[in-house]
Structure 1
Amino acid sequence: MENPRSEEPVTALPGVSYVMPVLNDVTHVGAAVQSLLDQDYAGAFDVVIAVGPSIDGTNELVEEMGRADRRITVVDNVAGTTPSGLNIAIRASRHPIVIRVDAHSVLPTSYARLAVETLERTGADNVGGIMDARGTSAFERAVARAYGSRIGLGGTPHHVGGAEGPADTVYLGVFRRSALERVGLFDERIKRGQDWELNERIRSSGGIVWFTPELRVTYRPRSTLSRLGRQFFSTGLWRGELSRLIAGSRNLRYFAPPVLVLGVTLGVLLGVIGLVLWSAGSRIAPLFLLGWIPPVAYAALVAVSAVLVARRDGAHAVAWFLVVLPCIHFCWGIGFVLGYLSLASNIAAQTYRKGSGSSDRRTG
C-alpha cells in the first residue's frame, strides 16, 4: 500500500528516537526506559525524556539515568502535560522515526524492529498495536481485565486486538518525523485524547494510520481507585470535548458510558420516588418503581462480567472488578457529559473543522 504523503522513505535501518513524557512516575519509569535500551533494533537510536515538575523523586531518577547513559537525554517539561512533554521531546530528538513511549509501558525487545518493518511495508505515517494491560496487585489485575474486555473499554482493536489494517488511532504510535512535522506535532491544548486528534490530522492530510496486532506493549495500570477515577474522568472530559468539536470523533461507543450514567441515575431517582409513593399507598407507585430496572440490570451485568472476566485472577480480583468497572464507566461517562456540554472551552471549534489545512495548526 502506497502513501503519497510520506515524503521521507524508510531505509533499511533508519535511526529511531524514543520520546517519553514523565510526571510522578518513579515506580514505573525505570522499567520503561530499560525496555528501550534492550531493543534488538540494529539502527541508531536516542531516548529523550521530558520530565515534568514531579514530587516523588522522578526528576532525580531520570537525571541519574541520563548521566549513566549518554544515549538518554533529559529535558524539562515545565507545563507538565503529556502533549507539551511529547512536543519538547520530539524537538530535542534527531532521528527520522519517532517512537512514542509511555512511562507506564514496557516495550517488547522486538518492538522497534517490527514497527519500522511495518512502516516500510505499508507506507503508513504511523503504526501501532495493542495496549496489553498487566497488573501485579489484585486491584491492578482487575483494572487490566477491564481494559482488555469489551465490557470495559468498548472493545477497540488497540485494547482487545483485531485484524491488521488502517485504523482511526493506535496505542502510542511509531511515526515518520516528516508526518509529525507536516501536521504540526501534538496539540498542546488537548490534555487527553491528543493521540486520536493527531491521528485525525494525519488521516485528514492524506496519511495512513496503521494497526498491527504484532506490536503489543505491556501497560501498567493505575494502582489505586482514586488515581483510576481521576484518569478516566479526565479522559472522558476531553473525549466529550472532542466529540462536541470534531464530527469524525462521534463514534457511538463513546456515547455508551454517558447514556449508561444518565439511565442508571434517572432510574435510581424514579425508583426512590416510587418507594416513597408506595409507602404512602399511591396507585401510581408501580410506574415509578419500574425505574429500578436499569440500575438493577447494570448491577447484574457488572456481577456477571466480574465472574466471567476476572475469575482467572482470583477472588480478590473479582471483588475489585465489581468496583473497578463502575468506576471506569461512571467517571468516564460523567466526564464525557461535562466535556460535551462545555461552553467555556479554550479550544476554538473552527480549529477542528474536518478537512481544514493542518499545516497551520502548529503548537507553541
Structure 2
Amino acid sequence: MNATPDVQLPAVSVIMPVLNEERHLRAAVSAILEQEYDGEMEVVVALGPSTDRTDEIAAELVAETAGNRAKVQTVPNPTGRTPAALNAAIKASSHPIVVRVDGHGILSQGYIATAVRLLEETGAQNVGGIMHAEGENDWEHAVAAAMTSKIGVGNAAFHTGGAAQQAETVYLGVFRRAALEQQGGYNEEFIRAQDWELNFRIREAGGLIWFSPELKVQYRPRPSVKALAKQYKDYGRWRHVVARYHEGSINLRYLAPPTAVCAIAAGVVVGALVTPWGFVVPAGYLAAITAGSLPAGKGLPLKARLQIPVALATMHMSWGWGFLTSPRALAKKVIASRRPAVLSEA
C-alpha cells in the first residue's frame, strides 16, 4: 500500500527486543527497512546482555542508517527480559503506530502497510497474523513443519492460518500507541506470555484484537533439540501461569500435552512393573506422531522428514512437562502484579 498524494499515512515505530541474535538480526532489520511504506518510520532495538556479536551488528545498523529516512536506534535492556525490552523500546519511540518484531522474525513484504490498513478498517487496538516458521537446514525444516501442523500445535490460527477474525491474542502485533500507553505497556513479571496478558487487558478495556492471515512473519525455529525443548518447556510453564491468572482461559488443546506426558509415563511404569500391555500407550503415541509427520513433511528432504517425529515429541513432551511442573508460587507472584485494565475516560 503506497500513499496517494492526498493521504497522510501515520508514522510507525518498530520495536525489537534482541538477545544473542547475531545470526538473524541484520536480516530482520533489513526486512523492516525494505518495507514499502510511505509514512515516517523509526526502528528501536532493545539490546539485552548478549554474548555474541549482536551489539556489534546493531551498532553497524545504527551507523549505516544514520542519514536514512528510517533510522535505527538502540536502547539498553540490562535485564535481558523480553517485556522489559519492549517497554524500554516503547518509551524510546514516538510514533502513533507501534509494530513489534523479534530479532529472528522477518516481516513479509507489505506487512506494515497492510497492518496499518487493517487497524483503520477494523478499529482494532492490535492486529497480528501468522507466525510462518521456515528453516535453513534439515532440523529447522523439521521443526518448522511441526510448528505449522495441527498435530504439532492444534488449531492455533497464528500457526496454521485461518479466517480473519476477532482473537484473544495474536503473534507479535501492530498496536495503536494510545492503547499501549493507556494500559501502561507490558507487565514485566510475565517473562513469557506477556503478549497474551497485555491483549487480555486491552480486551477487558473494550478494545478489539484482530487476527488476519494477510499478515505474515517469517520465523526461524530453534537450532537444536535442547533449544527447542527449553522453548516449549517455558511455553508450557507460562501457559499454566496464565491459566491460574485467568480462570477459564484453558481448553482441551492446552491440556493435551500434559495429558500425553502423564499417560506415557504411566504406560511405561505399568509396562515395566505390571504387564507389557502398558507399553501400548507410548507405542501408540509414537505411531501417531510418525503418521502425522507424513503429511507435515510433504515436499521436504528425507533427512528433514525423518526428524519431524523428534521435533513433535520434543514440543509435546517439553510443553507438557513445563505445564505440569509450573510452580504455583510463580503464578502467585504474577497474580500479585496484576494490572487492572484501564478504561478510557471517554
Q: Give the deviation of 1:329 after TM superposition.
A: 0.5
3-state SS of 1:65 partner: helix
Residues 167 and 301 (structure 1), Cα distance of their counterparts in 2 relative to 1, 3 Å cut:
same
Q: Which of the residues 289, 294, 301 maps onto 1:314? A: 301
Quote the residue 2:17 is aligned against. Answer: 21
Q: 1:220 corresponds to which residue?
A: 220
Please say which of residues 18-27 and 305-314 is displaced more in the overlay.
305-314
CA contact (8 A) 1:17 1:93 kept: yes
Instruction: Determine if contact 1:124/1:207 at 8 Å carries over to the other structure.
Output: yes
Correspondence for 1:358: 341
Aligned residues: 333
Aligned-pair CA distance for 1:63 = 1.3
CA apart distance, 1:133: 0.5
- Cα distance in 1 for partners of 2:276, 2:317 equals 23
| Helix, strand or coil at the partner of 2:234 | helix
2:340 & 2:218 partners in 1: Cα distance?
Answer: 35
- Where in structure 2 are there 5+ consecutive unaligned residues? 1-6
Distance 1:152 1:50, change over 3 A: same
Distance 1:345 1:74, change over 3 A: same
1:275-290 counterparts in 2 under 5 A?
A: 288-290=275-277
Identity %: 43
Deviations 1:226-262 (A, max 9, x none): 1111111111111111112211421221111011111
Output aligned runs, 1:33-182, within 5 Å. 33-70=29-66, 71-182=71-182
Residue 343 of structure 1 pairs with residue 339 of structure 2: no
SS of residue in 1 equivalent to 2:9: coil
Aligned partners of 1:222 and 1:194: how far apart in 2?
Answer: 20
SS in 1 for 2:319: helix
1:332 aligns with 2:322: no
Cα contact 1:127–1:210 (8 A) shared by 2:
yes
- Structure 1 position 155, deviation (Å): 2.2
TM-score, normalised with respect to structure 2: 0.93
Q: Does structure 1 residue 299 correspond to structure 2 residue 286?
A: yes
CA distance in 1, matches of 2:311, 2:128: 27
Q: By how many angstroms is 1:145 displaced?
A: 0.4
Aligned amino acid, residue 170 of structure 2 = V
What is the distance in 2 between the residues matched to 1:168 and 1:102?
20
Encode CA deviations 1:253-307: one digit per residue, 9 max, x unaligned. 1111011111111111111112xxxxxxxxxxxxx43322221110100111122
* Corresponding residue for residue 253 of structure 2: 253
Structure 1 position 202, deviation (Å): 0.8
What's the CA shift string for 1:173-203, capped at 9, x where partnerless? 0000000111121111111111111111111
Q: 1:343 to 1:195 in 2, by over 3 A?
A: same
Q: CA deviation at 1:216?
A: 1.0
2:244–2:331 CA contact under 8 A, matched in 1 = no
Contact 1:145 1:310 in 2 (8 A): yes
1:32 maps to what in 2? 28
Task: Find the residue that maps to 2:297 and give its secondary structure.
Answer: helix
TM-score calculated relative to the size of structure 1: 0.88
Retained in 2: the 8 A contact 1:205–1:357?
no
- Residues 98-117 of structure 1 deviation map (CA, whole Å, 9 limit, x = unaligned): 00001111112200100000
CA contact (8 A) 2:65 2:72 kept: yes
CA distance in 1, matches of 2:97, 2:136: 32
Structure 2 CA distance for aligned equivalents of residues 212 and 344 of structure 1 = 33
Contact 1:52 1:79 in 2 (8 A): yes
Matching residue's letter, 2:59: E
Matches of 2:249 and 2:37, distance apart in 1: 35
Q: Name 1:230's counterpart in structure 2.
A: 230
Structure 1: where are the runs of 5+ without partners? 1-10, 275-287
Higher CA-based Rg: 1
Measured after TM superposition, the shift of residue 347 of structure 1 is: 2.1
2:4 match: none
